[in-house]
Amino acid sequence: MDTFLKIAGAVVIVVSLAIALRVTVPSFGSVGIILALQSASPAIGVGVALAAFGSMLGQLKKIRLAAERQADLFQSILERRSQPAAE
C-alpha cells in the first residue's frame, strides 16, 4: 500500500502539471507557466500529501517489524532466565 500511495502521488503531480501546462501555455505563452503552476498547486499539494502518507506507512511498517523482532528477542531472554540451570 505504501508503494502504491507513493506512485499515485507522483502520478497526480505529473498529470496535474501536464494538464495545467497544456491548457495555459498555448494561450498565454511564457506567463502561462506561472499560471499553470498557480492553478495546479492544489493538485500538486494533494500529490505530495499522498506520497508523504505512503512514505509514512512504509516507515510505520518497518517500525512494527522491528518492534516484533525486539519482542521475540526479549521473550527468548526471559525463557532462558526462567529455565533452571542444569548442573
Amino acid making up residue 69: R
Query: Who wins on pLDDT, 33 or 68?
Result: 68
pLDDT digit string (tens) for 63-76? 999 999 999 999 99
Q: Domain ranges in the chain? A: 2-81
Sign (positive or negative) of CA dihedral 35, 37, 21, 43: negative
pLDDT digit string (tens) for 42-70? 999 999 999 999 999 999 999 999 999 99
Give the pTM: 0.74
Q: How many whole angstroms separate alpha carbon 36 and alpha carbon 34?
A: 5
Question: Three-state SS for 30?
Answer: coil
pLDDT for 13 beyond 90: yes
Furthest-apart CA atoms within the chain: distance in Å: 90
